[in-house]
Amino acid sequence: MKLDLAIRNGTIITAAGRFKADVGIRDGRIVMLAEELSADDEIDAAGHLVMPGGIEAHCHIAQESATGLMTADDYRSGSISAAFGGNSSFIPFAAQHRHMSIAETLDLYHERGRASVLDYSFHLIVTNPDEQAVNHDLPEAFRQGITSLKVFMTYERMMITDSTFLDVLALAKAAGGLTMVHAENNAMIDWMSRKLVQSGHTAPRYHAISHPAVAEVEAINRAISLSKLVDAPLMIVHVSTREGAELVARAQAEGARVFAETCPQYLFLTRDDLNRPGLEGAKFMCSPPPRDQETQEILWRHLALGTFTVFSSDHAPYRYDDSGKLSNGPDATFKQIANGMPGLATRLPLLFSGVAAGRLTLEQFVALSSTNAARVFGMYPRKGEIAVGTDADIAIWDPHETREVRLADQHDGMDYTPYEGMRLTGWPVTVLSRGERIVEGGRCMAEEGRGRFVKRGPSDYFGRPGFTVPEMDPARNFGVEIGR
Ligand code: DUC
Ligand code: ZN
Ligand code: ZN
């Protein structure tokens, strides 16, 4: 068979194992895995690792915050930055604000997504799950291949009640999808914040204090309990605490379809990073906030144990200027400063440092960076796998290259990186999307708009049987529709 491209002499790593083979690509897909392939166009991957391109499953691109601040990245710059970071596709959020219908929200983000160089989908943030949404708009979104939703348990302008959370969980379950949740107790944060601000504690470092670990732990416990009641799958995003991870692990051991994500900021930063002069600490403000070194160690362990299904950047880019962090001026309190930090390009090199340090195997790296996201978000095996028939979405890594993270090397719209100066070993050298080189030799070769919307299917729940609450037996009572 005539090939368009052959990747020669590399070591292929998948979530299931590793082997030496060449990769034959034709019409954007992998068509052969064999020894000694040849093509007119070849990439020599000797000494390099050939892995599924990363799938960034949590990032905020061309998204207005609840207070109207626009992120510093649109789909062009965001996707290019992600490509430099070893990603071949990404799933940003399409965020409903309360004055918008779901249909309007999706139209808006489909328009924004057109600029992407990566293949993309959206998780739909739902802030107003009224009758029209639950009975019509959300089922329609699932039909269009948007099979994951996100809800908030905090932020007055975004949060939903526990009761509507149950509606969303049951609905997503019936459609074979997945509900994601930002789990923090709103009242605890609000109460802490008021006390701090009233007593003049307004600097960025008080942001971390106003989001205590217990606020996350309480909300994770509640979210898991709600998902158990209706036996519905749940993904807890950006878990930052030891007890939070332990609640997830326990629910998984019970068979519940509970999944979780953690992010680089919880492994590489601590609350001390917020403690800088003036408003400088705002660069490290995100919710939930970074914790401490002991927690970092425990979260690394839960990554290796499989408690976390995905490792995402939570790229939420607000510049350190008046378009972002400083939009409320130099005297802003921590409550008036946008939450979030960049990380599209650094997520995978940071995670790879865990391989170099012996914390993770290469196979775990692939699972956490790509394959698991493809599975749980309904894109597998087309994405996230190296096998005959899959999209040729491939990242070729040099596991020995050591580089320092520097703002000057970033391609996003930001004016800082929280990881400035970190020396990391292991970097992507060539990234392919559907067989096309999108990054090579430090250059982006992709044309704006080449990315395609990926129509996703049902989630793969990793064989978890679910968790049935006896009182909620749908055969005997008025239960929410919970077909398996
Ligand atoms: N939650 C996120 O998922 N990202 C940024 C800020 C937030 O609260
Ligand atoms: Zn969140
Ligand atoms: Zn986020």
pLDDT tens profile 130-149: 999 989 999 999 999 999 99
Ligand 1 atom closest to the Cα of residue 286 is 6
pLDDT value, residue 242: 98
| Same-domain check for residues 282 and 293 | yes
What's the rounded mean pLDDT across residues 398-404?
A: 97
What's the rounded mean pLDDT across residues 454-482?
A: 83
Mean pLDDT of the chain: 96
| Same-domain check for residues 251 and 395 | no
CA of residue 220 to ligand 2 center, whole Å: 12
Which CATH number covers residue 232? 3.20.20.140
Identify the band that residue 480 occupies on the pLDDT scale cut at 50, 70 and 90.
Answer: low
Q: What is the pTM of this model?
A: 0.97
CA angle 141, 142, 143 (to 5 degrees): 90
pLDDT digits (tens, 9 = 90+) for 230-277: 999 999 999 999 999 999 999 999 999 999 999 999 999 999 999 999
User: Can you tell me the distance from the alpha carbon of 92 to that of 476, in angstroms, rounded to the nearest whole number?
Assistant: 40
pLDDT value, residue 417: 98
| Same-domain check for residues 150 and 40 | no
Indicate the length of the chain as a whole number.
Answer: 484
Asked if the model's pLDDT at residue 448 lies above 80, the reply is: yes
Residue 380, domain member (yes or no): no
What's the rounded mean pLDDT across residues 275-302?
A: 98
Quote the tokens at residue 41.
Answer: 């166009």
Asked if the model's pLDDT at residue 484 lies above 50, the reply is: no
340 pocket-lining for ligand 1 (C-beta < 6 Å)? yes
pLDDT value, residue 412: 98
Question: Which residue owns the Cα nearest ligand 1 atom 8?
Answer: 287
> Residue 60, SS3?
coil
| Same-domain check for residues 252 and 389 | no
CA of residue 400 to ligand 3 center, whole Å: 31
Residue 479, domain member (yes or no): no
Asked if the model's pLDDT at residue 289 lies above 50, the reply is: yes
Ligand 1 atom closest to the Cα of residue 316 is 5
Asked if the model's pLDDT at residue 476 lies above 80, the reply is: no
Quote the tokens at residue 70.
Answer: 């626009």
Asked if the model's pLDDT at residue 478 lies above 80, the reply is: no
User: Can you tell me the distance from the alpha carbon of 321 to that of 55, in angstroms, rounded to the nearest whole number?
Assistant: 30
Ligand 1 atom closest to the Cα of residue 314 is 4
| Same-domain check for residues 352 and 313 | yes
Residue 459, domain member (yes or no): no
What's the rounded mean pLDDT across residues 157-162?
A: 96
pLDDT value, residue 473: 75
Residue 235, domain member (yes or no): yes
Identify the band that residue 470 occupies on the pLDDT scale cut at 50, 70 and 90.
Answer: confident
Residue predicted with more confidence, 377 or 482: 377
| Same-domain check for residues 393 and 261 | no
What's the rounded mean pLDDT across residues 204-226?
A: 98
Range of the domain at 365: 54-370
Asked if the model's pLDDT at residue 229 lies above 80, the reply is: yes
What's the rounded mean pLDDT across residues 449-453?
A: 98
Closest CA to 2 of 55, 56, 43, 39: 39
Identify the band that residue 472 occupies on the pLDDT scale cut at 50, 70 and 90.
Answer: confident
| Same-domain check for residues 246 and 304 | yes
Mutate which of 235, 237, 286, 347 for ligand 1? The one with the most ligand atoms within 8 Å of its CB, which is 286
Whose tokens are 């050298």? That residue is: 429
Question: Rounded to 10 degrees, what is the CA torsion of 218, 187, 281, 82?
Answer: 60
Domain count, the chain: 2
Asked if the model's pLDDT at residue 62 lies above 70, the reply is: yes
123 pocket-lining for ligand 1 (C-beta < 6 Å)? no
289 pocket-lining for ligand 1 (C-beta < 6 Å)? no
pLDDT value, residue 482: 52
